[in-house]
Structure 1
Amino acid sequence: MTTPGLRERKKQRMYETLSETAIRLFLEKGYDAVPVAEIAAAAEISKPTLFRYFPTKEDLVFHRIADHEDEAARVVAEASDDVPPLVALRRDFLDGIERADPITGLSDHPAVLAFYDLLYGTPALVARMYAHLERSEEALAEALGGDLDARLAAGQIVAVRRVLAQENWRRVTGGEDVGVVRADAVAAAERAFDRLAAGLPQLA
């Protein structure tokens, strides 16, 4: 793997700084109450410079979870030839549950809960989430072969992962103990992936 040069590292740090500055302000004041100009001022850059990094206000939030957009596709692409796609995806999701990865909805860290409250409680961000999920489906479909069958399968897989995570998040934010939710989450994930395997035997 090539080590990023100084210029690229500085650019990545700026992405992180701008995103984290914006999220902090959104959490303090509310998404709609914070104009882009205020974020630029807090980061000590001009508004046009901010837009060179993030073309839209929503991008500032989604940068934090951008790596997850093609996560399912990476899991499939990096699996060894003797591991079917659904087996690799099941293992990945169950590993995420075990680690209490926030993307599985199983983290009760206050900062994580605040971020997801912002994400799911802001209409503009909920609308943007659909585009995020569509790109996840497209990337996974390509990893599965790129044809219509692959696109149909990707839609089902991404939907299952989303519903499982949202159910976990709903219960955790409702005050249930993470340990209790985790045990149920494992059983729910196993059932869900069993059903995917039954309906998509070519991937299992």
Structure 2
Amino acid sequence: MVETNEQTGGGNGTGMGLRERKKLQTQLRLMGVAIELFTERGYDKVSVAEIAEAAEVSKMTVFNHFGNKEDLALRPVEEHIHDAARTVRDRAPGESAVQAMRRHYLRSVDERDPSIGMSDTPLVLQLLRLIMETPVLLTRAHAALVRSSDLVAEVLAEETGDQVMARVAAAQLMAVRATLISENYRRLLLGDPADAIAPDAVRLAIEAFDLVEHGLGDYATKAEAPA
């Protein structure tokens, strides 16, 4: 998920021309109105026409900015599909993929990045609950996660020439990232503020990425039965 001065959406408009800023502002307003209506009445009970009416724009205006109703809720999520692959691709010389992923995640925690579940603003919490409670949105959000993993695998395969091991590595890296984010979401929905979650998020990230970096080894070795 993402957040701006408008509470949710894409970038903050810095460096944009007037036309681009107006476009972004319209998209943010439409998403905000849509999420409010979805929360109040349920996703399936709100039409695009009703969203347009509430936002005081035409239905065509909505479709000029969003391909379908799902996009109004999921664009903030899908804007981050490329984040992990970009992190791996742009890592510094001598930096491993797991080190890059850990560094990026820890920085995101420090920055209270909503895309990793580190924002407790009302609209972000509304969107999170909406996705969790709406099967069609949850399915598409999962597809975005799968696509993110595929993109990481593509980067690693290009570098190593080994597609199978690239997929194995990407799956491990993305599973760690997704699990950590899910824990942040769980605590947000329980009412914990992001600032209270952050120290645990850092600790868990270090432990989890270390586990990938050094291998499972003797992790969870079953104890010998007592004599």
After TM superposition, list the pairs within 5 Å mapping 1:35-184 onto structure 2: 35-146=47-158, 147-176=163-192, 178-184=194-200
| Bigger mean CA offset, 122-131 vs 40-49 | 40-49
Give yes or no for the alignment of 1:187 onto 2:203: yes
Question: In structure 1, what is the equivalent of residue 33 of structure 2?
Answer: 21
Aligned length: 198
**Separation in 2 of the partners of 1:4 and 1:176?**
35
**Separation in 2 of the partners of 1:99 and 1:49?**
34
Gaps of 5+ in 1: none
Distance change >3 Å, CA 9–CA 175, structure 1 → 2:
closer
**Separation in 2 of the partners of 1:49 and 1:185?**
40
How big is the shift at 1:26?
Answer: 1.7
**Separation in 2 of the partners of 1:179 and 1:7?**
36
How big is the shift at 1:137?
Answer: 1.3
What amino acid sits opposite 1:149 in the alignment? M
**Separation in 1 of the partners of 2:21 and 2:191?**
40
Would you say the 8 A contact 2:32–2:123 is kept in 1?
Answer: no
How big is the shift at 1:113?
Answer: 1.7
How big is the shift at 1:81?
Answer: 2.0
Structure with the larger helix share: 1
How big is the shift at 1:161?
Answer: 1.0
What amino acid sits opposite 1:29 in the alignment? R
How big is the shift at 1:116?
Answer: 0.9
**Separation in 2 of the partners of 1:185 and 1:53?**
35
Question: In structure 1, what is the equivalent of residue 10 of structure 2?
Answer: none
**Separation in 1 of the partners of 2:182 and 2:35?**
21
How big is the shift at 1:34?
Answer: 0.9
How big is the shift at 1:152?
Answer: 2.3
- Once superposed, what is the RMSD of the aligned Cα atoms? 2.5
**Separation in 1 of the partners of 2:191 and 2:203?**
20
What amino acid sits opposite 1:87 in the alignment? Q
Would you say the 8 A contact 2:108–2:116 is kept in 1?
Answer: yes
Report percent identity of matched pairs: 43
What's the TM-score once normalised by structure 2's chain length?
Answer: 0.75
Q: Deviations over 1:45-101 (max 9, x none)?
A: 443553343222111111123321111111122222222221111011111122222
SS at the partner of 2:157? coil
**Separation in 2 of the partners of 1:12 and 1:179?**
28
**Separation in 1 of the partners of 2:71 and 2:212?**
32
**Separation in 2 of the partners of 1:161 and 1:108?**
19
**Separation in 2 of the partners of 1:126 and 1:14?**
25
How big is the shift at 1:182?
Answer: 2.3
How big is the shift at 1:12?
Answer: 4.2
Would you say the 8 A contact 1:19–1:64 is kept in 2?
Answer: no
